[in-house]
Amino acid sequence: MQPLQTNVPSLRGAIHVPGDKSISHRAVMLGAIAEGTTTIANFLPGEDCLSTIDCFRKMGVAITQNGTDVVVEGKGIDGLQEPNDILNVGNSGTTTRLLLGILAACPFHACLIGDASIAKRPMARVTKPLTMMGAHIDGREGGNYTPLAIRGGNLRPIQYESPVASAQVKSAILLAGLFTEGTTTVKEPSKSRDHTERMVRLFGGEVVVDGLTVSISGKQTLKAADVYVPGDISSAAFFLVAGAIVPNSEIVLKNVGLNPTRTGIIDVLEQMGAELSIENVRNEETEPIGDLTIRTSNLKATEIGGALIPRLIDEIPIIALLATQADGTTVIKDAAELKVKETNRIDTVVTELKKFGADIEATDDGMIIRGKTPLTADNLAVDSHGDHRIGMMLAIAACVTNGSMSLQGAEAIAVSYPTFFNHLQALIGQ
């Protein structure tokens, strides 16, 4: 049980949030299948990205990791080796699904296993299209759940229309397509994060984007690159919300990734009337970054749905907290994907926030939140349910709660933000 700081008088100061999780995974993966030595700066040393490194080491890739500096000795597109041990993906859905895309193309056998949360997450969304391409995949319930066994190689291209807007599905198919003679195409119902497309280009490959359709031709040679990973906007989101709802606050977040497929949280803060400014935007060619300043704000409710959802999917738990501190009724819809994350995030957000005074109800595809409500706790135990984003949301909620509370399962936060409590403490202390 970790005690949480409640009734925080102000949050002030500047922080650099850690590197982007999605980009860190992809830099290791593309570095491993490129030719030459890739360097990665500002890598996220969170548990999920360390799982990705571990899996590629088991396939014969030499990777040195020193904090946020990583060097990957690329093996080329056909150079990965059959692992003689099980590949452990830990808690990481991104590792599991993108790795399956690469393994689908490798002419050897591999087994994938993860933690109890991964064992409940649907994998048919990638194993089905990869099987259509010719990979042999088996697992519980017809290849929908880990442990999974895969034997790849000899793929044929597909033209796939994905039923979900998922960057993990899109990326798995594109990565398999990279090894496959001919042109592989994925169409998605709305635009998901495009880090794979951008990074393939950074490594000298070609990807064609036409609206919601992305195509890649196979047997391209990727060349090693020097990757700088921007700060993770999904991590910054916790402090953007904290700065908006804690009294007397002003927080500067430096070098945050501002890829437009990820900035839904900024749109929502602006719609809700937050005092947010964006400065020093740069690096727009590869992955845009900038500095964000947030101040205590008078907030009003909003509606969130449609094409905005994939642009803020991981931020919905912290947006739910934001909505409890805004005047009016906030409706979040079209977000059924939340049910298949590290936890069912509709249930865990509603259950935990209700414990200390939020007026929040679950719907089939989202939630309805009525604000503004005071949050109060008397020796209350809240629970991350092993989900990093629920744990961080609850720690920020504590800042605007009167009373006392502690967090069960705080260790889950190391999955994406190992220095979260240090940063929170630094902002409280100033």
Ligand X SMILES: C=C(OP(=O)(O)O)C(=O)O
Ligand Y SMILES: O=C(O)C1=C[C@@H](OP(=O)(O)O)[C@@H](O)[C@H](O)C1
Q: Is 162 in the site for ligand Y (CB under 6 A)?
A: no
SS (H, E, C) 26-56: HHHHHHHHCEEEEEEECCCCCHHHHHHHHHH
Q: Is 413 in the site for ligand Y (CB under 6 A)?
A: no
Token code pair at residue 166: 């998922």
Asked whether residue 341 is marked as a ligand-binding residue, the answer is: yes
Q: Is 193 in the site for ligand X (CB under 6 A)?
A: no
Nearer to ligand X, 92 or 325 (CB): 92
With CA atoms as reference, report the closest residue to 422 among 47, 17, 1.
17
Region from 167-175, 214-222, 393-401, 402-410 binding ligand Y, contact rule CB under 6 A? 167-175
Give backbone dihedrals phi and psi of 147, rounded to 5 degrees, phi first.
-65, 140
Q: What is the DSSP string of 294-311?
A: EE----B--EE-GGGGGG
Region from 80-88, 162-170, 245-253, 290-298 binding ligand Y, contact rule CB under 6 A? 162-170
Binding ligand Y (rule: CB under 6 A), the pick from 30, 313, 367, 400 is 313
Region from 89-97, 123-131, 187-195, 222-230 binding ligand X, contact rule CB under 6 A? 89-97
Check if the beta carbon of residue 315 is closer than 8 Å to that of residue 235: no
Helical H segments across 219-299, by residue range:
233-245, 264-271
Q: Is 168 in the site for ligand Y (CB under 6 A)?
A: yes
CA 309 from centroid of its chain's CA atoms: 13
User: Shortest distance, CB of residue 124 to ligand X, whole angstroms?
Assistant: 15
Q: Is 314 in the site for ligand X (CB under 6 A)?
A: yes
Q: Is 95 in the site for ligand Y (CB under 6 A)?
A: no
Binding ligand Y (rule: CB under 6 A), the pick from 6, 22, 65, 325 is 22
Nearer to ligand X, 262 or 341 (CB): 341
Binders of ligand X among 31-50, rule CB under 6 A?
48
Asked whether residue 389 is marked as a ligand-binding residue, the answer is: yes
With CA atoms as reference, report the closest residue to 101 among 88, 114, 112, 91.
112
Applying CB under 6 A, the site for ligand X has a residue count of 9
Burial class (CB in 10 A: 0-12, 13-18, 19+), 365: middle
Provide the annotated active-site residues: 314
Which of ligand X, ligand Y, none does residue 92 bind to, with CB < 5 to 8 Å depending on kind? ligand X
Asked whether residue 21 is marked as a ligand-binding residue, the answer is: yes
Q: Report the half-sphere exposure of 207 (CA within 13 A, side-chain side).
A: 26
Q: Is 188 in the site for ligand X (CB under 6 A)?
A: no
Binding ligand X (rule: CB under 6 A), the pick from 389, 396, 405, 420 is 389
Residue nearest to ligand X (CB): 93
Burial class (CB in 10 A: 0-12, 13-18, 19+), 406: middle
Q: Distance between CA atoms of 180 and 182, rounded to whole angstroms?
A: 6
Give backbone dihedrals phi and psi of 230, rounded to 5 degrees, phi first.
-65, 160
Binders of ligand X among 408-427, rule CB under 6 A?
416
Q: Is 314 in the site for ligand Y (CB under 6 A)?
A: yes
- Looking at the DSSP assignment, which residues form a beta bridge with residue 405? 4, 380
Q: What is the DSSP string of 53-100?
A: HHHHHTTT-EEEEETTEEEEEEE-TT-----SS-EEEET-HHHHHHHH
DSSP state of 326: S
Check if the beta carbon of residue 179 is closer than 8 Å to that of residue 100: no
Beta-sheet pairing, 87-90 with 136-139: unpaired
Nearer to ligand X, 167 or 207 (CB): 167
Q: Is 341 in the site for ligand X (CB under 6 A)?
A: yes
Nearer to ligand X, 234 or 255 (CB): 234
Beta-sheet pairing, 366-371 with 328-332: antiparallel
Nearer to ligand X, 125 or 389 (CB): 389
Binders of ligand X among 91-150, rule CB under 6 A?
92-94
Q: Is 259 in the site for ligand Y (CB under 6 A)?
A: no
User: Shortest distance, CB of residue 239 to ligand X, whole angstroms?
Assistant: 16
Which of ligand X, ligand Y, none does residue 166 bind to, with CB < 5 to 8 Å depending on kind? ligand Y
With CA atoms as reference, report the closest residue to 257 among 304, 194, 204.
194
Q: Distance between CA atoms of 417 and 408, rounded to whole angstroms?
A: 17
Residues in touch with ligand Y (CB under 6 A): 22, 94, 166-168, 171, 192-193, 313-314, 337
Q: Which residues are annotated as a binding site for phosphoenolpyruvate?
A: 21, 93, 121, 168, 345, 389
Would you list which residues are annotated within the binding site for 3-phosphoshikimate?
Answer: 21-22, 26, 166, 168, 314, 341
List of residues contacting ligand X (CB under 6 A):
48, 92-94, 314, 341-342, 389, 416
Residues of each annotated binding site: 21-22, 26, 93, 121, 166, 168, 314, 341, 345, 389
